[in-house]
Structures are given as structure tokens and as C-alpha cells.
Amino acid sequence: QVQLVESGGGLVQAGGSLRLSCAASGTIFSINAMKWYRQAPGKQRELVATINSEGSTNYADSVKGRFTISRDNAKNTVYLQMNSLKPEDTAVYYCYADVRIRIYSATYLAYWGQGTQVTVSS
């Protein structure tokens, strides 16, 4: 079994910064893509940022230039550095990982974190 545990959320004023982390643990052979999503009340879940196993990144237009996704493969951890936060960034943030759990199988399984609340006040 694989568990993704998120941390780093909280309350911050507009213009401030937060750093989210998500650590994967359990039966892990390797992790391919890792992603951050967010979901605000009454809205659909939105893909915020993606990082593949080689470190290539992609961002939603709404956060590009303000957020940075990174990963530490040795720690099976993905980070989201959020700067210049805006009230519209308020949401529950979820991490996601495609995980290979068997050395003898190249199949990847999708896992989600429990979510961490980010609230940006004006």
C-alpha cells in the first residue's frame, strides 16, 4: 500500500508564501509523474502543476510565475512553493502520484493525498 501525506497548508495574507509538501511512503519501486491539484468550494478540481520523473514541469496559467513544483526522488516527496499568493488561490490542495509498486511489473497506480487547506486572506 502507498500513502501520500500532505503538509504545509494554512492561513496566509495576500502576497505571502507557503510551501506544501507531500511525502509518499509504503511499497514504492519508483514514482513517475507527481502533480498538485486544487479544489475550491463549488468548483471543479483543477490541475495546478505537474513534474515528471526527469524534472520537467508544467503549470496552470493562473499560477505560472508564482508557483514552483519540485521533487526529491530520494525522499519520494513533491513540493509546491507558492509565492505572491492571492485570495483566489484559496482551495484544498491535493497531491497526486503515479507509483510503480512492483519491480517485476511496469504498471503504475494512481494515488492521492488527503488534501491540505490553503486560505489566503486579503
CA within 13 Å, CB half, 24: 31
The CA distance from 40 to 31, in Å, is 27
* Each residue's pLDDT tens digit, 74-103: 999 999 999 999 999 999 999 999 999 999
| Whether the predicted pLDDT of 7 surpasses 90 | yes
Amino acid at 18: L
Nearest to 37 by CA among 56, 50, 27, 53: 50
Per-residue pLDDT at 1 exceeds 90 = no
Quick: pLDDT tens for 12-62: 999 999 999 999 999 999 999 999 999 999 999 999 999 999 999 999 999
